[in-house]
Structure 1
């Protein structure tokens, strides 16, 4: 198991700001503690509601069988886990992992209110140092969470480590828009509209500004594919959705 050094030197990006690497986890935690109760609103604002379609496609095309054990990292408010529940059946197990306790609490309460109790486990954990044995899961997913991980390479290595041989890892994340004509429209929405919506509906413009900036700092499609290959994954590939606003990356442990 990889253990990140909390005192490691250097700087990293927090949105468009450079911050000490050791501080990023705390800063990201503050953002998601702030938006936890409004997480669905955040995703609706960032994607104009299309995130619900992206998530359904992400789950529908995953390698899942009845009885599988699945880890959903950055599981947040449980959207992905709820969709996966139908596919793993009553004998399957779903572990929601999130570094943020507020997000995990919202997800647990939501799932309980929907009657989704059996077969669910909630674990507060850091994606860079997962508290699970090697080869624990048939599928590992992370949706709209990898860009907030400080050491993405460590996170990908941990996803690989906890996968069983033959298992699949899937990443759904905002990515690099490919249509040149759409880029200025997307930028206007991200940096002019989104923070104002955050201020209006959630009383928090700064967190929404960070989320827009974090998308631009995330590795584009081909670089993330190479990072997955470096982490050990085989048969890595990606599929752009909505002109590259998001991409689904897939890799396997062989």
Structure 2
């Protein structure tokens, strides 16, 4: 079923339109190239920086995302922009727990798909992934041209990655294509605070602290400046929910985490 990824999507993206790269407007193909560069730069310190930026709370958001998915024995997950594999590992673990309760020994599995080979290499190198070598696959591929057959997966996740995609509509169409009928989609992304006064405080923290952390910890201020800017450019919760509706997902719900610092958009492929 798996195919080697090829960069055909770059040609597909060539157009006169522009998209946001942080606060800049660039061509879609330039965004793809620059996003690759960002994550190649930060891959080795990605997990450490996530813990520092969120004070570890991102782990709770991911836990709740997997709980919402309710993985079952024998199911297959595609984790797009999966980076170092947090959600894929958690999906398999939770499915195994469900299997033990139900005395069902069918094994769940997951594919971590990321456009950046450096991120995949960082995930493969994690010590806690050694026990999952026969349960997880790592595939270099782009969200806008997934190298998988239609109706291949029971669930699909993308955490903190959808805002980096040059053409969200194309990616959402791909997500629906590769999900089985009745498959579940979970999109976890940094979002917008539910209280305007808190948003001002959060913006002040984001723009003053996070790039500095990137400079000190990852020796890369510019990449984290982009990440902060990309969060502010991402649509508000209701706007993005409408994008999922337009893409054909059903019963889309939104769950705000930590007052809207992050939001989980959840829907069904029908």
TM-score under structure 2 length normalisation:
0.90
Match of 1:229 among 236, 242, 245: 245
8 Å Cα contact 1:63-1:168 kept in structure 2: no
Kindly tell me the number of residue pairs found equivalent between the two proteins.
Answer: 253
Alpha-carbon distance between aligned partners in 1 of 2:244 and 2:70, rounded to the nearest angstrom = 17
Q: Report what 1:57 is aligned to.
A: 64
Structure 1 segments of 4+ aligned residues over 4 angstroms from their partners: none
8 Å Cα contact 2:71-2:92 kept in structure 1: no
Match of 1:15 among 22, 29, 32: 22
Alpha-carbon distance between aligned partners in 1 of 2:55 and 2:93, rounded to the nearest angstrom = 26
Alpha-carbon distance between aligned partners in 1 of 2:17 and 2:204, rounded to the nearest angstrom = 32
How far did residue 48 of structure 1 move? 2.3
Alpha-carbon distance between aligned partners in 1 of 2:160 and 2:49, rounded to the nearest angstrom = 12
How far did residue 112 of structure 1 move? 6.5
How far did residue 92 of structure 1 move? 1.4
Alpha-carbon distance between aligned partners in 2 of 1:185 and 1:71, rounded to the nearest angstrom = 35
Question: Is 1:35 matched up with 2:51?
Answer: no
Identify if the C-alpha distance between structure 1 residues 3 and 29 changes in structure 2 by more than 3 Å, giving closer, same or farther.
Answer: closer
Please list, as runs of the form range in 1=range in 2, the aligned pairs for 1:67-146 lying within 5 A after superposition. Answer: 67-89=74-96, 91-110=107-126, 113-146=129-162
Alpha-carbon distance between aligned partners in 2 of 1:233 and 1:27, rounded to the nearest angstrom = 30
Task: After superposing the two structures, state which structure 1 stretch, 210-219 or 115-124, moved more.
Answer: 115-124
Q: Which runs of 5+ in 2 are unaligned?
A: 1-7, 97-105
Q: What value does the CA root-mean-square deviation take over the aligned residues?
A: 1.5
Identify if the C-alpha distance between structure 1 residues 113 and 228 changes in structure 2 by more than 3 Å, giving closer, same or farther.
Answer: closer
Q: Report what 1:164 is aligned to.
A: 180
8 Å Cα contact 1:111-1:117 kept in structure 2: no
Question: Is 1:153 matched up with 2:172?
Answer: no
Question: Is 1:195 matched up with 2:211?
Answer: yes
Q: Which runs of 5+ in 1 are unaligned?
A: none
